[in-house]
Amino acid sequence: MDLELSESELAFQAEARAWLAANVPAEPLPSMDTAEGWALHQEWEARLAADRWSVVSWPRDYHGRDASLIEWVIFEEEYYRAGAPGRVSQNGIFLLAPIIFEHGTKDQQDRFLPTMATGEEIWAQCWSEPEAGSDLASLNSTARRDDGRGGWVLNGQKTWSSRATYATWGFGLFRSDPEAARHHGLTYFLFPLDADGVTVRPIAQLDGEAGFAEVFFDDVFVPDADVLGAPGDGWRVAMSTAGNERGLSLRSPGRFCAAADRLVDLYRSSAVEVRGAPAPSLETSDVGKNVVDAWLKAEAYRLYTWGTVTRLADGGEMGAAGSVNKVWWSELDIALHETALDLLGTDAELDSTWLDGYTFALSGPIYAGTNEIQRNIIAERILGLPREPKGAQR
């Protein structure tokens, strides 16, 4: 692993840093889980796209910069270091787009990628069902063939669909062959959330905002042109998405390193400037040790990611290592925010940044495949341990 950047990479870093310094809003945007915040986050996506910073690793024909994987990591680090807004388009850009590039038709790439890059169309991930969360293969939503109209008819229910409250398009798996084995007979569909037969019902979170929604399908017609990959091959396509979600793309290390730096700043200021009391010892106090531990783990994740990038650049694959990433960053996110709340004490109720971050971090071990499932994958596919007995996960 080479941590020395080349001259061109340093130039890319300097350009990104300068653009972010000139364009990042001075004040945090309102929550994207509100109508006002959603609109402002879409405007931010458009601003990024106008100067080709929304999807740096994509081809130039789709608003990208043809940036390398290393340059993508550099940009992510600079993005979060600058305190830039969260990405309302992340489901589309980081989860769906990679498999549209890999499995989509040229028509699908031309129709969906440009508006995804500019934030005109925001995508919701519609995977989980009431009886099929991390056990994705047990889903019950169906797709029935309609040869007369040249497409499929969807029925069923999805739940905990991120961004579905305000998003315009969704993507998800449906069982298109009820006679096939669990992981077969599934098909991957793209569908507008305002189509006839689609009902979106927002789900209020702890803070009252609707970052998730239930989506109901009642005889929703989807043309063949909006099937991603081959009919019946949805599981293989979906696993491409899962690898992206658990691996590099959903949670880049820059996010956690920036939070760790803010935590150190909070430690320095909370005891001395706010409370006027001596700072808790880094060596002897639990909260001081937790500050150091969280910072070290964020830096470890950064270095591990650079190792992964090097391996991928040399032709390697992510594979089951994405599960290691997922467990690490989801638990790190909670630790970072819990330590901040410990430092703030009762003042935490007045600090929406850390409190909001904490409530979101609590969902980390659940979404993108629960950490229990990820530990099984690590045990079986990386460590070579025996498979868990059937039914033990229930």
Q: What is the pLDDT of residue 70?
A: 87
**Average pLDDT of 318-333?**
87
220-270 pLDDT tens trace: 999 999 999 999 999 888 876 665 555 565 678 888 999 999 999 988 887
Res. 57: pLDDT tops 70: yes
CA atoms within 13 A on the CB side of 121: 20
Checking if the pLDDT of 373 tops 60, the result is: yes
Q: What is the pLDDT of residue 13?
A: 96
* Inter-axis angle of helices 286-313 and 253-269, nearest 10: 160
209 flagged as catalytic? no
Q: How many other C-beta atoms are found inside a 10 Å radius of the C-beta of residue 212?
A: 21
pLDDT at 333: 94
Pairwise CA distance, residues 45 & 147, whole Å: 39
Per mean pLDDT, which of 184-188, 224-228, 308-312, 366-370 is the most reliable? Answer: 224-228
What's the pLDDT score for residue 146? 96
Of 380, 293, 305, nearest to 331 (Cα)? 293
Residue 393 reports pLDDT greater than 60: no
Percentage of the chain beyond pLDDT 70 is 90
Segments of the chain assigned E as strands: 123-125, 142-146, 151-158, 169-175, 186-192, 198-203, 212-223, 227-228
* C-alpha to C-alpha distances, 45 to 40, 117, 120, nearest whole angstrom: 9, 8, 9
Which of the two residues, 7 and 283, has the higher pLDDT score?
Answer: 7
Q: How many CB atoms lie within 10 A of CB 51?
A: 13
Of 93, 27, 99, the closest CA to residue 56 belongs to: 93
Give pLDDT, residue 390: 64
Cβ 212 vs Cβ 126: under 8 Å = no
Select the highest-mean-pLDDT range: 98-112, 129-143, 368-382: 98-112
Of 77-86, 107-116, 152-161, 277-286, least confident by mean pLDDT is 277-286
Per mean pLDDT, which range of 28-37, 134-143, 237-246, 381-390 is the poorest?
237-246
Collapsed DSSP state (helix, strand, coil) of residue 335:
helix
The whole-number average pLDDT for the span 204-212 is 80
Give the residues across from 154 on adjacent strands: 143, 220
Per-residue tokens: 271? 């005891």
pLDDT at 206 over 80: no
d(CA 370, CA 149): 39
According to the model, what pLDDT value does residue 278 have? 61
Which residues lie across from 227 on neighbouring strands? 189
The Cα-based distances of 205 to 34, 45, 209, 347, 359 in angstroms read 12, 25, 6, 22, 9
Who contacts 147 (Cβ-Cβ below 8 Å, separation ≥6)? none
Average pLDDT over every residue of 273-300: 76
User: Can you give the pLDDT at residue 368?
Assistant: 76
Band (pLDDT 50/70/90 cuts) for residue 394 is very low
User: pLDDT band at residue 388, thresholds of 50, 70 and 90?
Assistant: confident
Mean pLDDT estimate for the chain: 87
Q: Identify whether the C-beta of residue 211 lies closer than 8 Å to the C-beta of residue 163.
A: yes
How far is 248 from 181, CA to CA, in rounded Å?
31
Distance separating alpha carbons of residues 322 and 248, to the nearest angstrom: 7
On the question of pLDDT at 274 being above 60, the answer is no
pLDDT band at 131 (very low <50, low <70, confident <90, very high): confident
DSSP 280: P
pLDDT band (50, 70, 90) for residue 346? confident
Amino acid (one-letter) located at 107: D
- Residue 166's SS3 state is coil
Q: What is the residue-wise DSSP string for 333-394? A: HHHHHHHHHHHHGGGGGG-HHHHHHHHHHTTTTTTTS-HHHHHHHIIIIIS-PPPPPTTTT-
Q: Which of 121, 245, 273, 380 is catalytic?
A: 245
As a whole number, mean pLDDT of residues 345-370 equals 82
Segment holding 104, helix H or strand E = none
